Amino acid sequence: MDLEDWRQEQYLSVAVKNNNTDLAQLFLDYGVNINAQDPSGEPPLYLAAGESPLSMVKFLIDRGGDVNVRTARGLTPLYGASLKSRPDVVEYLLSKGADVSIASDARNWSPLECAFDYPTVLTLLVTKARPPPDYHREAEYCDTHCTALFLAARYNKIECVKLLLKHGDPDLEFTPSSDIEELDLAKGFTPLAIASLYSGDTLAVLLEYGADLGAKDRDGFTPLNYSIGTTDSSLVRRLVNAGANLETTDNWGGDANLWHRRRGTPLEAACHNQYYNDSVVVRYLVEQRGVDINGPGSYASSALGQAFLTGGGTLITYLLTNGGSINTTDGNGLPSWFNICYRRDNALEIFDKILAHYEAVEFSASLRGKDRMSRTILHCAAHAGHLGLVERLAELEPKLIDGRDADGWSALHWAARMFCARGLRDEVLMQSYEEKAEVIRFLARKGCPGLEERVPGGERTWNVLEIAEYHGAPDVVIGAFRDMMEEKKVQVKSTKVLSKQYPDEWSCNGCNSLIQGNDSGFGVAF
């Protein structure tokens, strides 16, 4: 190899990387500084600790290598061995006096944080390091500061959590200053709060060691508040059985049975997370905790409303037979059963379950129900573009065809708006535009008003074509309106109204419409 432009330290580094003890011996005998950094800023012992066999590590230390030598970034051999999960090297370095407290220049990470997900290495650090690690030390992680225990709890490293609790004196109530990750609402979380989102096993261990059940984050939420939004029913049960206070209030005055107006109640969250008709959490809350099925929910939904939107037939039947009412409303006054219009599937099947559950007179009264905007269920079905449901509603209650909301909008006007709702795991539930076009034709042929009428919205009035164009309706929907206007011999003058859809399919939870707008009216759901 061409050594002409190489520094002496680089020769030694190559020998170490190739596990060539004889060559390393030659360079050291020649006078190469064993603790000097190579051009990449790394001394030989650091390289060996992370990559070479233990024999090379021993050789370098025997030849005078500093066990705590640092790289240009402030990393020690113990750091490198811990980061690469090399327990034999870690144990040897500790036996030679490696200091577990030395942290990196950037982010302040020590070997302890490096090993938060390596139980074998962590065992050595917590049992053999002298002096022992500082379990309260904080390292930078993303945009915040975290302890090793917090990291282990966040990523469900149960063995590491046990080790830190058993051998150290970790700060059970440590809270990061800001988000641990961009997608995590972790500001002010304790390790117990993090575990309440991700792991029942970690949760149980933290509770065993006395973690505070009532510890609150910056919004006043306790671990119980967050556990009710998960799919793991054991998390809720563990916290409640351990003594979590259901009546502790958050910063908005809501307790665990009315968990503030944005996120809703535990029962609402449990209904949101139904998979394969798994109603364990729902049954627990209703039968053992006495939660009111018809109680208030979040601003844009209720427990029953969420069940009608995303729940299975078994869940809905259970709620109705245990006192649930289809007329329970959310913060917008929307009767809960109107949400079947926005289901991804099985809407007619759920509709038939409701029909079978109620007497004809009572059901007929519910058909005529309205929300706070005076929308009927037909407005919602037309908006969602559910042809089968629109046909069934028109058959059962023909007067719905003539219904108008508080602004005079008919079902046809609402059909011109583009629907968007959120289902399980918050995936977007979109509509079939071809089916929406058939809904428009059906309503127009049934005599639904609205083909030529202008209705108020914002600071102007609109006809159905303008509404559809503003909401970015595809040609098949606009074409259906034009076909019906031609068939009904209706002439309408429309003005092209420019708008833009906002990123990531923003939607209004109140009316289940895509957010549209323009430069003078940012984010108008209309």
pLDDT band of 270, cuts 50, 70, 90: confident
Residue 460: phi, psi to the nearest 5?
-150, -175
For the cut 90, the answer to whether the pLDDT of residue 399 exceeds it is: yes
What are φ and ψ of residue 506, in 5° steps?
A: -60, 140
Inform me whether the pLDDT recorded for 377 exceeds 90. Answer: yes
At 507 the three-state DSSP class reads: strand
Q: Which domains does the chain have, with CATH numbers?
A: 1-126 (1.25.40.20), 135-256 (1.25.40.20)
Q: Exposure pattern of 264-294 as b/e (b: 16+ CB <10 Å)?
A: bbbbbbbbbbbeeebbebbebbbeeeebbbb
* Residue 191, pLDDT score: 87
Question: 6: buried, middle or exposed (CB in 10 Å: 19+, 13-18, 0-12)?
Answer: middle
CA distance 462 to 467: 6
What is the average pLDDT across 34-44? 93
Confidence at residue 2, expressed as pLDDT on a 0 to 100 scale? 40
Q: Are 25 and 54 in contact (CB under 8 A)?
A: no
Per-residue pLDDT band for 406 (boundaries 50, 70, 90) equals: very high
